[in-house]
Amino acid sequence: MTDTETRLRDYLQTKAATVPDDAEPPGLDEPVARRRIWPVLAAAATIAAVVAVPVVSKLTAEPPAVEPAAKPGLRVPYAVMANPVTLHDGDVTLPLDDTMTSFRDSARVDGGWVILHQDKESRTYRLGLLRPTGDLTPFGPGEARGFEVSPDHRQVVTATSAGGGRTRLVTLDIATGNEVNSLVVPYGSITPRGWNSDGVWLIEEYSSKVPPVLWKPGTDQFTQLQVDDYAANLFVGTASDRVMAVTQKGSTTCLRAGTARDGQLAVDAEYCAPATERRYAGFSPDGATIVNLDHRVAVTGGRTTKLALPAGALVGPPVFEDATHLLATLDGKPAGHLGSVQEVFYRCDVTRGACEAVYTAPADTWVRLGQP
């Protein structure tokens, strides 16, 4: 019994002692105005009201406003490369069978994910539509060299060898797996790099001799994009008409963004710095933000924002979750350690520079980030 209940009991007992033994309750037919209110009941009602008021107030008061916490984890699909490989996307965790031990890429689409994996029997890479049930439907040509999804996520483009130093470009309908169109181009090892409103952008990896190539699916038109001092890498703003080329002259590396105009890159934004690892560059899907993770900076509309990432070795290129948030991967182990890295993923807001750790990969594994 609480202290309040004890005091109420004692008070009622005291008042009860003052009621005469021959007192009678009011008759049911007695007018309300003339009814006699028993002292005990009046006292009880008074005290009960005093005790009850705070309780009622507590139950009916509006709860304080609470900001919803950001959902932990990553906002893009990703594969944890262990045994078995597991694909994660939001609340979905999907173990993959042992035919997909060599897993390269994934992209979220209607009905599941497009993935690139190595077929266990043929040992060649193929595209597949992976459903949340775990069912996999392979489609497209063998020996696929990467892929990119269309801006509406209904089609996918890949590349495969056509022999004789040529490459066959193929677009496929994701829902049916059917080929939509194709084109053979006179480049030996060109691969898709992105698909935006201009078309499909392709590069010959690790070679600055072949400039970026633009193909408009459904046509036989392909054009080269001339970029001064091109350094074998191109990033595509997939929700825009913009691209970003990496250039290098002497000891200076520049990230130059703009639009294709008359076969040239019309540059309207850039960030230059001493030569760095070019694979740690990034470009937002809306084509507005240039990122140089080596220098921990993001450049939007001419404004440079320092990204508040901790010291540590970068172990992967940045991946944008949306137009203003990117994922950066750092080694969480002490500098100079021996053995495997411990991947820690940070989400950075490129408009403010704020970064927070959102995921640490399981020990002795590594993670492949997919496309949103």
89 and 163 together in one domain: yes
104 and 166 together in one domain: yes
| 94 in a structural domain | yes
What is this structure's pTM? Answer: 0.78
29 and 80 together in one domain: no
81 and 176 together in one domain: yes
pLDDT band at 337 (very low <50, low <70, confident <90, very high): confident
19 and 95 together in one domain: no
100 and 193 together in one domain: yes
Three-state SS across the chain?
Answer: CCHHHHHHHHHHHHHHCCCCCCCCCCCCCCCHHHCCCCHHHHHHHHHHHHHHHHHHHHHHCCCCCCCCCCCCCCCCCEEEECCCCEEEECCEEEECCHHHCCEEEEEEECCEEEEEEECCCCCCEEEEEECCCCCEEEECCCCCCCEEECCCCCEEEEEEEEECCEEEEEEEECCCCCEEEEEEECCCCEEEEEEECCEEEEEECCCCCCCCEEECCCCCCEEECECCCEEEEEEECCCCCEEEEEEEECCEEEEEEEEEECCEEEEEEEEEEECCCHHHEEECCCCCEEEEHHHCEEEECCEEEECCCCCCCEEEEEEECCCCEEEEEEECCCCCCCCCCCEEEEEEECCCCCEEEEEECCCCCEEEECEC
| 105 in a structural domain | yes
97 and 51 together in one domain: no
* Nearest of 210, 106, 344 to residue 92 by alpha carbon: 106
188 and 86 together in one domain: yes
b/e per residue 228-244 (b: at least 16 CB within 10 A):
eebbbbbbbbbbbebbb
144 and 43 together in one domain: no
| 372 in a structural domain | no
Q: Find the CATH number of the domain harbouring 118.
A: 2.130.10.10
Reply yes or no on whether the pLDDT at 262 is more than 90. yes
- pLDDT at res. 277: 62
**Final residue of a domain: which of 200, 224, 248?**
224
103 and 197 together in one domain: yes
pLDDT band at 340 (very low <50, low <70, confident <90, very high): confident
| 203 in a structural domain | yes
Reply yes or no on whether the pLDDT at 32 is more than 50. no
pLDDT in tens, 268-313: 999 999 876 667 999 999 999 999 999 999 999 999 999 999 988 9
| 371 in a structural domain | no
Based on the structure, what is the number of domains in the chain?
A: 2
Sign of CA pseudo-dihedral 48, 49, 50, 51: positive
* Nearest of 127, 135, 254, 223 to residue 178 by alpha carbon: 127
**Final residue of a domain: which of 163, 194, 224?**
224
Tokens of 347: 């989400």
Least confident piece of the model among 55-64, 163-172, 288-297, 345-354: 55-64
Domain boundaries, position 39: 3-60
| 176 in a structural domain | yes
- For residue 9, which phi and psi values (nearest 5 degrees)? -60, -45
Reply yes or no on whether the pLDDT at 349 is more than 80. yes
Hey, how many other C-beta atoms are within 10 angstroms of the C-beta on 55?
A: 9
- pLDDT at res. 68: 34
Backbone region of residue 112 per phi and psi (left: phi > 0; alpha: psi in -120 to 50; beta: other values): left
100 and 218 together in one domain: yes
40 and 177 together in one domain: no
- pLDDT at res. 237: 97
Q: 186 or 22: whose pLDDT is higher? A: 186
**Final residue of a domain: which of 60, 85, 109?**
60
| 365 in a structural domain | no
pLDDT band at 30 (very low <50, low <70, confident <90, very high): very low
